[in-house]
Amino acid sequence: MKVLRTLVQVLFLGGVVALLLRGLAGHTPNTCEYYCPFGGLVALYPLARYKAYACALTELNVALLVSVLVLTVVSKKSFCGWVCPLGTVQEWLGRLGGKLFRRRFRLPKGVDRVLMNLRYVVLIAVPVLTFTVWKFDLGFRAYDPFYILFTWGGHETAAFSFYIVIGVLAAALLIPFFWCRYLCPMGAAMDPLSRAGALRIRRNRDTCTDCGECDKACPHAIPVSRVDEVTARNCTNCLDCIEECPVEGALELSWFGK
């Protein structure tokens, strides 16, 4: 399954890199922003109020937002673990960091919990700033590592934007999924639906040996061995826990934990 997920990740990451290269060569006017589901979320207010889109957002952003939310209802945050190119880059950097430093760094639980709420601040702040300070312009571009990285400093980015990307990627080397865990507004938007996601990991108490390998394998620090079914909002259904489980059938993918 790891191979299948990696293939899907490579496909989407390759897609945005190809788009970047085609854009830099002048073969397409579209950037990764054209396919960004978070853009759909920013587009909702002007669409509802003025029947118009902000800046370069289009109905495709809205359609992809709906798609991602439907996917979340079906399969938790599979978008993050299987599709999102920034998530893929961070995952690979996290693995590299794990090899370099021979451990995964984690912030103290209390700090981690507080910082995770920053995503909600970003989720609210970006649309509000877009319609007030940035006057319907997409000012978040200058701060959004996905846009900065995959447009290689596109329209409205500045020199400091690259420092943001370097900071986010360096942090991902040390703390797995730094951006996703603490700052990603799209992840925050998916949270409530992710908890109810139908396709989720189920632990079979009768066969589980409580070895804790699944806990160690989870890149999002979910205590899989202590629950009967994983409803955690951060679960991306990456299936690393199942891969690492030494007992066949102790962990499996299920519909609603059944």
Partner 1 sequence: MKKAVIIPLAIALVILLAFATTNAYRVPTADISFVECDERPTSVATVEFEVSGLKCRGTARTFARQIQDVPGVVSFVAYARTHSAIVEYDPALTDPDAIREAFEEPILHEGKTYEVFKMVSVAGE
Select from 19, 32, 41, 64 the one that contacts partner 1 (CB under 8 A): 64
Among the residue ranges 72-80, 86-94, 146-154, 212-220, the one whose residues contact partner 1 (CB under 8 A):
72-80
Report if residue 63 touches partner 1, rule: CB under 8 A.
Answer: yes
Closer residue to partner 1 in complex, CB, 58/204: 58
| CA–CA–CA angle 254, 255, 258 (5° rounding) | 70
Report if residue 58 touches partner 1, rule: CB under 8 A.
Answer: yes
Report if residue 82 touches partner 1, rule: CB under 8 A.
Answer: yes
Report if residue 107 touches partner 1, rule: CB under 8 A.
Answer: no
Q: How far is the CB of 214 from partner 1 (least distance, A)?
A: 15
Q: How far is the CB of 210 from partner 1 (least distance, A)?
A: 22
CB atoms within 10 A of CB 97: 21
Interface with partner 1: number of residues (CB under 8 A): 40
Q: Six-digit token pair at 228?
A: 């009967």
Q: How far is the CB of 168 from partner 1 (least distance, A)?
A: 24
Distance of CA 81 to the CA centre of its chain: 7
Select from 29, 108, 110, 246 the one that contacts partner 1 (CB under 8 A): 29
Report if residue 204 touches partner 1, rule: CB under 8 A.
Answer: no
Q: Are the beta carbons of 152 and 24 closer than 8 angstroms? A: yes
Select from 79, 134, 177, 182 the one that contacts partner 1 (CB under 8 A): 79
Report if residue 68 touches partner 1, rule: CB under 8 A.
Answer: yes
Report if residue 44 touches partner 1, rule: CB under 8 A.
Answer: no
Report if residue 253 touches partner 1, rule: CB under 8 A.
Answer: yes
Closer residue to partner 1 in complex, CB, 51/109: 51
3-state DSSP of the chain? CHHHHHHHHHHHHHHHHHHHHHHHCCCCCCCHHHHCHHHHHHHHHHHHHHCCCCCCCCHHHHHHHHHHHHHHHHHCCHHHHHHCHHHHHHHHHHHHHHHHHCCCCCCCHHHHHHHHCHHHHHHHHHHHHHHCCCCCCCHHHHCCHHHHHHHCCCCCCCHHHHHHHHHHHHHHHHCCCHHHHHCCHHHHHHHHHHHCCCEEEEECCCCCCCCCHHHHHCCCCCCHHHCCECCCCCCCCCCHHHHHCCCCCCEEEEECCC
Among the residue ranges 57-65, 99-107, 180-188, 221-229, the one whose residues contact partner 1 (CB under 8 A):
57-65
Contacting positions for partner 1 (CB under 8 A) = 1, 4-5, 8, 29-30, 34, 47, 51-60, 63-64, 66-68, 70-71, 74-75, 78-79, 82-83, 136-137, 199, 237, 239, 242, 252-254
